[in-house]
């Protein structure tokens, strides 16, 4: 039982640290109309998206594509933390913006999830 005393603060601290909006916070109140104006498929670049929404959580794939993720709630990084990921998960987030860039760094798809 003694070990829990050491683990518990770590879990809670990590959970709190991961509890925030990714980027500049614009996604928190982003409407679908605003998203459609800010993100143009086949045209918007990484620089355009970074300017509009700030720094994203980025996943790079072997096929050359890149996924930028803006989350309101827990950052996806908490899903990699042992013990923490048994307690909290970014899967509980109700709002997030996913943007897929093609090999040339141009938006191929995006999805505003709000539920």
Partner 1 sequence: MMCDVVKRWLAVAALLGVAAAALADGADTSMPKVEVQGATHDRDEKSYRDMLAGMDVFDKNRGLAPTATLRFKVLPRHEGVSMEGLVLQVSGDRSGIPVPLAADQTFTLPVRPDAANDNAMVRFNRQAGSLAWRADVRSAGVPPNARRLGDLLLECKVAMAGDLVAYVHHPINVLITRMEDPCRTLPITMFYFADRPLFSVTLVAGSRRRIMPAAMLHGPTAPLMPNQEDWTFLRERVYTVKFKSLYEQGWTDDTVLQFDGMDDDAPAGSPP
Residues at the site binding partner 1, with contacts judged by CB under 8 A: 1, 3-4, 7-8, 11, 15, 32-33, 35-36, 39, 57, 59, 61-63, 65, 67, 69, 71, 76-77, 79-80, 82-83, 85-93, 96, 98, 100, 108-113, 115
Cα 23 to Cα 83: distance, rounded to the nearest angstrom: 26
Specify the pairing of strand 57-60 against strand 95-101.
Answer: unpaired
CB of 17 to partner 1, least distance (A): 14
For 77, phi then psi, to 5°, come to -60, -30
CB of 24 to partner 1, least distance (A): 18
CB of 11 to partner 1, least distance (A): 7
Nearer to partner 1, 55 or 59 (CB): 59
Give the SS3 label for residue 42: coil
CB of 110 to partner 1, least distance (A): 6
Nearer to partner 1, 4 or 104 (CB): 4
Instruction: Give the DSSP per-residue string, 3-53.
Output: HHHHHHHHHHHHHHHTEEESTTSGGGG--HHHHHHH--TTT-BHHHHHHHH
């Amino acid at each position: 039982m003694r070990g829990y005393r050491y683990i518990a603060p770590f879990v809670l601290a990590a959970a709190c640290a991961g509890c925030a909006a990714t980027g500049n916070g614009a996604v928190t109140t982003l409407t679908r109309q605003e998203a459609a104006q800010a993100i143009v498929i086949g045209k918007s670049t990484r620089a355009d998206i970074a300017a509009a929404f700030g720094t994203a959580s980025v996943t790079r794939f072997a096929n050359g594509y890149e996924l930028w993720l803006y989350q309101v709630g827990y950052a996806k990084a908490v899903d990699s933390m042992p013990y923490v990921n048994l307690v909290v998960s970014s899967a509980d987030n109700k709002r997030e913006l996913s943007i897929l860039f093609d090999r040339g760094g141009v938006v191929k798809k995006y999805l505003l999830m709000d539920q």
